[in-house]
Amino acid sequence: MSAADAPLSPMLVRLAEQKATGALLRTTGILYLAGGAVVHAESPAAPGIERLLTAGGRLPAQTWRQAVDQAGAQCRIARWLIDHRQLSAGEVEISQLGALHDAAFFVLAPAAGPTRFRHGAEHWFGPVSAVPVYEVEREARRRRGLLEALWPHPGLDTAPPVRRRAARLPPVTGRQRALLDLADGV
């Protein structure tokens, strides 16, 4: 097996083989498993599902808070949003998969530190889509390869984007600033 084919997390592969359910914790984030498949991922370096759903205005923040209040303790927020016709099942699934792969990229980074597993832990959003571990690892490798091809510097592969204001650029108008703030928001 070449280094390119080696598992990004041998522990994750073992947990998948054991069909484990729980949370894989690393310093860069958390992968949630159900029956050995990845069902959610969180990383401080990637926007979470709540950010993806509310930032663009498709789901009002007040509705999000209502869903959390009424269904969060039961880990059924996704189901609540669909049942109360706030979002379609497709919208929930696309957002969940986007958040999962974005966060998994950082969680599976080469220098992600020690790994622990908490058996039985569930993600508060609730079940949506389960992604096999090999697909999550393949997507993380694909993204890392694209970044490496663009700019071969390992720090760029794991560092989240940071907004910077260049001192030499001309000032933007209020209208331009409003547009830029929205573009940088997600």
Q: Locate 16 and state its tokens.
A: 């998948």
- Write phi, then psi, for 58 (nearest 5 degrees): -65, -35
Q: What is the pLDDT of residue 181?
A: 79
From first to last of its 186 residues, the chain has per-residue pLDDT tens of 455 666 788 899 999 999 999 999 999 999 999 999 999 999 999 999 999 999 888 899 999 999 999 999 999 999 999 999 999 999 999 999 999 999 999 999 887 678 899 999 999 999 899 999 999 999 999 998 888 888 877 666 566 667 776 667 778 888 888 888 777 655
Residues in the chain: 186
Name the DSSP class of 137. Answer: H
**Cβ-proximal residues to 134 (8 Å cutoff; 6+ apart), any chain:** 16
Q: What is the pLDDT of residue 114?
A: 84
Q: Residue 135 is inside which H or E element, if any? A: helix 133-150
Torsion angle of C-alpha atoms 132, 136, 25, 151, degrees rounded to 10 = 170
How far, in Å, CA of 66 to CA of 69, rounded? 5
* CA-closest candidate to residue 7, choices 103, 137, 104: 137
Q: What is the pLDDT of residue 3?
A: 53
Q: What is the pLDDT of residue 109?
A: 87
pTM value is 0.80
Q: What is the pLDDT of residue 175?
A: 87
In whole angstroms, what separates CA 97 from the centre of its chain?
8
Q: What is the pLDDT of residue 120?
A: 95
Q: Locate 37 and state its tokens.
A: 């498949």
How far, in Å, CA of 66 to CA of 72, rounded? 9
Q: What is the pLDDT of residue 147?
A: 85
Q: What is the pLDDT of residue 54?
A: 92
Q: Locate 84 and state its tokens.
A: 């109360």
How far, in Å, CA of 62 to CA of 178, rounded? 22
